[in-house]
């Protein structure tokens, strides 16, 4: 995923989405996450899923998007199978229609499309800079920045732990996890836990020694980036388009929408 | 200037003080080295100077510390941070940004400076340290030497009058270490007081003005660099050598035939040009060092030799027989630099059991495992949690785990980084003993002392193609 890289140009090429300001993409994620809470029917959610799919496909990572969609489809089929199994054991519980059962998965897909577009087309440093430009308070900025900053290190750690297991002759696959669930959790979790504790300590110390929060208590109330980000015409177009799409989805919900959350018939 | 006067400090929940009755000073333009065996109180001394003890770690503090004439009682940690700059052993752990320029700018953004002011500071710092060409690079793309420079740059941009370097040479190659020595001399010329805590000593001969040798929380010896030349001092306090021969160019090349033979190896990373093209070489049963500059593929070669990465083309022969990739993985062991990633279990004995291929350590016969632990001097730690061990003990444990599987190829990546003289010698003995048992041992290291102690031959990178014999 591109979010692993900090300095390379976006792997999604020079498409429309890659050229957008990170703040635009974050706002899209936030607005979509709020919208899917209020939209309850298949029709408006399917509409937003299609619109957001076009958005994420602009990145050009078709294989990755396809694999994620396959995984979501698998989970949908699995949930239907379990629903039928429960119905066969207890006929009092009715079987939900497949389309209605899709509703929670469509919510996931909308979120997935917008977040994946953000992750695949943004550099971590730009994300950090955009956080600064939101002028967040210290208690919110530091944990958020540290979380984002450590994504590559975290992935590197997981890779190294996985490799250590391979070196020791353990294949960390599904069969191993099913046969030795406790051991599998221990093998993966123990080093990560200790590493996380050490990193937290080290970063806390580094923050203190760099005087983080010193200016905060004296002159300045917020951190501000020295590399300002600029909204462009395309960002404005995208935000307006997103607003229109949300209004349209609301309209579809009001006119054609059925009153279901998808979990009950 | 920094001045410690009869300082005694005890960590919370500890009965014994970590340091006792410490008095010394570092004047502007002076560099002082603090050294000693692991656990001697060196790190606590560094924490006392930069204010982490007692301000961050709390605990009981007696005595007085003056920084630029101001008593510690009158200073908060934030105020101390404007006077004292600290660079850790692993600089990456103190980075908050992903790019070099953003990292240097980070502390200034918190100080409420204008964008214009910060840009000037970043440019000035980059010019001063000669890192203008990497200003927009990601911190993950930097070599250890460059990371060290960026960390020092970030600290110096705040204009401290005291600089503390904690194990600065532990991850550096000899060239970067020389560069660091030059930088410290330059800082001294600018009247900055420098305190260096390090195990590696050879690079500091022309750098430091005084040496403090610590033992059991007290200053056991002090004087100029020549006190480290006394063999009794080295032996008594578990120190490393004060002078080390650079054997990288003088180690013999690889033999034509050997226990392990690699034939026509070709490899490239994804979307990258070929790193190795049709190369062949043999490893004998001794200890081979992989030597090369950053980016020449030392770790990649280790991964290929252990079967962790797949060759594009080529074969590995063990004792004259071709061995497929998956089989190579079973017949090799690789000890990575970060020991924390390699320790999973509840006790040292369980860790050894797991490494021996026993999935249910609860059912294992302890005698055999205790024999392995005894061989590596870890028997008394059998029931301890692996993560509670000291750095040297952890390193010995992961090496013991690697050897417990009886590998044909045993590869160690920087096994002595951050270790004192005593622990370094123990690791060297373990490597030698594995080699004596007929295992082909490969060491990737920048540690000149380890190279000269144990290595019999060198595989120098980049390797040019030569036909298989």
What residue of B is the nearest CA neighbor of A185?
Answer: B344
CA distance A199 to chain B (A): 7
Residue corresponding to tokens 């917020």: A222
| Rounded-to-integer distance, Cα B312 and Cα A15, Å | 33
A206 touches chain B (CB under 8 A): yes
| Rounded-to-integer distance, Cα A42 and Cα A99, Å | 7
Instruction: Check A160 against B97: CB less than 8 A apart.
Output: no
Instruction: Check B96 against A169: CB less than 8 A apart.
Output: no
**Whether the Cβ atoms of residue A121 and residue A2 lie closer than 8 Å to each other:** yes
Q: For chain B, give the percent of residues with pLDDT over 90.
A: 54
CA distance A210 to chain B (A): 6
Chain A residues lying within 8 Å of B139, measured CB to CB: 6
Residue B39 clears pLDDT 50, i.e. is over it: yes
Between B112, B357, B401, which is nearest A220 by CB?
B112
pLDDT for the residue numbered B256: 84
| Rounded-to-integer distance, Cα A246 and Cα A25, Å | 15
Lowest mean pLDDT among A226-235, B27-36, B195-204: A226-235
* First-to-final CA distance of chain A: 38
pLDDT for the residue numbered B468: 46
Instruction: Check B340 against A7: CB less than 8 A apart.
Output: no
Q: With CA atoms as reference, report the closest residue to B180 among B299, B67, B89, B242.
A: B89
The listed range with the strongest mean pLDDT (A151-155, B181-185, B269-273) is B181-185
Give the best residue of A209, A216, A224 to mutate against chain B (max B CB count within 10 A). Answer: A209
Confidence grade of residue A60 (pLDDT, cut at 50, 70, 90): confident
- Average pLDDT for chain A: 81
Helix (H) or strand (E) holding B32: strand B31-36
Lowest mean pLDDT among A115-124, A234-243, B122-131, B425-434: A115-124
Cβ contacts of A21 within 8 Å, gap of 6 or more: A130, A229, A230, A231, A232, A235
| Rounded-to-integer distance, Cα A174 and Cα A157, Å | 20
Instruction: Check B78 against A213: CB less than 8 A apart.
Output: yes
CA distance A4 to chain B (A): 10
| Stated pTM of the model | 0.80
Longest dimension (CA), chain A: 68
Between B86, B105, B344, which is nearest A226 by CB?
B105
Token digits of residue A42: 């298949």
A226 touches chain B (CB under 8 A): yes
Distances (CA, A) of B206 to B9, B129, B167, B210, B246: 32, 20, 17, 11, 17
| Rounded-to-integer distance, Cα A122 and Cα A251, Å | 32
Token digits of residue B228: 């480290």
Token digits of residue A262: 């998808």
Strands laid side by side in the B31-36 sheet: B84-87, B162-166, B193-197, B31-36, B210-215, B218-223
| Rounded-to-integer distance, Cα B14 and Cα B339, Å | 26
Token digits of residue A99: 């389309």
Cβ contacts of B362 within 8 Å, gap of 6 or more: none
Confidence grade of residue A1 (pLDDT, cut at 50, 70, 90): very low
- Residue B462 has φ and ψ, to the nearest 5°, of -75, 150
| pLDDT per position as a tens digit, B440-463 | 999 999 899 999 999 999 998 887
CA distance A56 to chain B (A): 24
Instruction: Check A216 against B137: CB less than 8 A apart.
Output: no
- Give the residue-averaged pLDDT of A91-113: 88
Residue B228 or residue A3, greater confidence: B228
pLDDT for the residue numbered B7: 96
* First-to-final CA distance of chain B: 64
Instruction: Check A198 against B340: CB less than 8 A apart.
Output: yes
- Give the residue-averaged pLDDT of A58-68: 87
Instruction: Check B97 against A132: CB less than 8 A apart.
Output: no
**Whether the Cβ atoms of residue B205 and residue B12 lie closer than 8 Å to each other:** no
| Rounded-to-integer distance, Cα A48 and Cα B183, Å | 58
Sign of CA pseudo-dihedral B302, B308, B309, B315: positive
Confidence grade of residue A158 (pLDDT, cut at 50, 70, 90): confident
**Whether the Cβ atoms of residue B308 and residue A166 lie closer than 8 Å to each other:** yes
- Residue B298 has φ and ψ, to the nearest 5°, of -65, -50
Q: Where are the alpha helices (DSSP H) in B71-114?
A: 77-83, 100-110
Spell out the domains of chain B, with CATH numbers in brackets: 2-237 (3.40.50.300), 260-460 (3.40.50.300)
| Rounded-to-integer distance, Cα B396 and Cα A167, Å | 17
Cis peptide bond upstream of B54, omega within 30 = yes
Residue corresponding to tokens 């221990």: A186
A143 touches chain B (CB under 8 A): no
Lowest mean pLDDT among B18-27, B69-78, B397-406: B69-78
State the Cα angle at B36 between B129 and B386, rounded to 5°: 95
ipTM above 0.90, yes or no: no
Taking residue A70's Cβ as centre, other Cβ atoms within 10 Å add up to 10
pLDDT for the residue numbered A183: 85
DSSP string, A230-252: ---HHHHHHHHHHHHHHHHHHHH
Taking residue B348's Cβ as centre, other Cβ atoms within 10 Å add up to 28
Residue A10 clears pLDDT 60, i.e. is over it: no
Give the best residue of A165, A171, A210 to mutate against chain B (max B CB count within 10 A). Answer: A210
Helix (H) or strand (E) holding B43: helix B42-49
CA distance A217 to chain B (A): 10
A194 touches chain B (CB under 8 A): yes
Between B112, B154, B342, which is nearest A219 by CB?
B112
pLDDT for the residue numbered B247: 93
Q: How many Cβ pairs closer than 8 A exist between chain A and B?
A: 164
Within the 119-138 window of chain A, which residues sit less than 8 Å (CB to CB) from chain B?
123-125, 128-129, 132
| pLDDT per position as a tens digit, B348-387 | 998 998 888 765 555 556 777 888 888 888 889 999 999 8
DSSP string, A173-214: SHHHHHHSHHHHHHHHHHHHHHHHHHHHHHHHHHHHHTTTTH
CA distance A148 to chain B (A): 10
- Average pLDDT for chain B: 89
Instruction: Check B109 against A183: CB less than 8 A apart.
Output: no
- Give the residue-averaged pLDDT of B238-247: 92
CA atoms within 13 A on the CB side of B146: 19
Chain B residues lying within 8 Å of A168, measured CB to CB: 354-355, 357, 401, 405
What residue of B is the nearest CA neighbor of A133?
Answer: B109
Confidence grade of residue A12 (pLDDT, cut at 50, 70, 90): very low
Dihedral class, residue B51 (left if φ above 0, else alpha if ψ from -120 to 50, else beta): left
| pLDDT per position as a tens digit, B322-339 | 998 888 988 999 998 888
């Amino acid at each position: 995923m591109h979010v692993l890289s900090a300095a390379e140009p976006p792997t999604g090429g020079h498409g429309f989405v890659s050229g957008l300001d990170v703040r635009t993409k974050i706002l899209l994620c936030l607005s979509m996450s709020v919208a899917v809470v209020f939209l309850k029917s298949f029709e408006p959610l399917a509409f937003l899923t299609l619109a957001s799919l076009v958005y994420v496909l602009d990145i050009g990572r078709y294989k990755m998007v396809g694999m994620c969609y396959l995984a979501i489809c698998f989970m949908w089929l699995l949930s239907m199978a379990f629903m039928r199994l429960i119905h066969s054991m207890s006929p009092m519980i009715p079987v939900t229609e497949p389309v209605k059962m899709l509703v929670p998965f469509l919510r996931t897909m909308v979120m997935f499309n917008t977040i994946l577009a953000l992750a695949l087309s943004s550099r971590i440093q730009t994300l950090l800079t955009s956080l600064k430009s939101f002028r967040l308070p210290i208690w919110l900025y530091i944990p958020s920045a540290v979380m984002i900053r450590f994504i590559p290190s975290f992935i590197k750690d997981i890779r190294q732990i996985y490799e250590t297991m391979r070196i020791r002759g353990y294949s960390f696959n599904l069969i191993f996890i099913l046969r030795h669930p406790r051991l599998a959790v221990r093998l993966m979790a123990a080093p990560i836990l200790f590493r996380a504790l050490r990193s937290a300590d080290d970063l806390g110390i580094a923050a203190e020694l760099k005087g983080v929060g010193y200016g905060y208590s004296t002159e300045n109330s917020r951190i501000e980036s020295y590399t300002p980000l600029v909204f462009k015409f395309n960002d404005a177009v995208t935000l307006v388009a997103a607003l229109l799409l949300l209004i349209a989805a609301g309209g579809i919900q009001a006119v054609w929408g059925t009153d279901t959350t998808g979990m009950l018939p | 200037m920094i001045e410690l006067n009869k300082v005694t400090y005890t960590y919370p929940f500890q009965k014994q003080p970590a340091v006792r009755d410490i008095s010394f000073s570092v004047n502007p333009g002076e560099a002082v080295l603090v050294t000693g065996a692991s656990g001697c109180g060196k790190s606590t001394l560094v924490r006392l100077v930069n204010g982490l003890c007692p301000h961050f770690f709390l605990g009981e503090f007696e005595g007085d510390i003056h920084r630029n004439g101001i008593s510690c009682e009158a200073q908060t940690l934030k105020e101390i941070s404007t006077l004292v700059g600290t660079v850790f052993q692993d600089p990456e752990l103190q980075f908050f940004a992903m790019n070099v320029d953003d990292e240097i700018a980070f502390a200034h953004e918190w100080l409420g400076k204008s964008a214009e002011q910060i840009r000037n500071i970043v440019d000035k710092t980059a010019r001063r340290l000669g890192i203008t060409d990497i200003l927009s690079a990601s911190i993950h793309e930097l070599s250890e030497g460059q990371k060290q420079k960026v960390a020092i740059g970030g600290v110096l941009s705040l204009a401290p009058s005291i600089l503390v370097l904690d194990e600065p040479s532990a991850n550096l190659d000899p060239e970067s270490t020389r560069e660091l020595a030059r930088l410290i001399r330059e800082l001294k010329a600018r009247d900055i007081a420098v305190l260096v805590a390090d195990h590696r000593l050879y690079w500091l001969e022309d750098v430091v003005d005084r040496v403090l040798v610590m033992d059991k929380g007290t200053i056991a010896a002090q004087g100029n660099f020549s006190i480290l030349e006394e063999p009794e001092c080295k032996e008594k306090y578990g120190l490393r050598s004060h002078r080390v021969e650079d054997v990288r160019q003088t180690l013999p090349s690889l033999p034509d035939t050997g226990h392990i033979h690699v034939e026509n190896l070709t490899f490239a990373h994804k979307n990258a040009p070929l790193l190795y093209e049709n190369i062949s070489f043999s490893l004998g049963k001794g200890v081979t060092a992989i030597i090369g500059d950053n980016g020449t593929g030392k770790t990649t070669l280790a991964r290929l030799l252990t079967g962790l990465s797949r060759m594009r083309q080529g074969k590995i022969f063990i004792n004259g027989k071709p061995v497929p990739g998956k089989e190579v993985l079973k017949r090799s062991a690789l000890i990575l630099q970060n020991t924390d990633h390699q320790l999973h279990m509840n006790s040292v004995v369980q860790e050894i059991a797991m490494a021996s291929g026993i999935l249910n350590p609860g059912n294992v016969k302890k005698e055999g495992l205790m024999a392995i632990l005894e061989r590596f001097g870890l028997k008394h730690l059998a029931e301890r949690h692996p993560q509670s061990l000291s750095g040297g003990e952890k390193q010995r444990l992961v090496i013991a785990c690697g050897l417990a599987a009886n590998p044909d190829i045993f590869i160690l990546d920087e096994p002595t980084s951050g270790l004192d003289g005593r622990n370094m010698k123990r690791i060297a003995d373990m490597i030698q003993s594995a080699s004596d048992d007929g295992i082909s041992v490969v060491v990737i290291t920048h540690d000149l002392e380890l190279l000269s102690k144990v290595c019999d031959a060198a595989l120098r990178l980049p390797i040019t193609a030569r036909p298989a014999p």
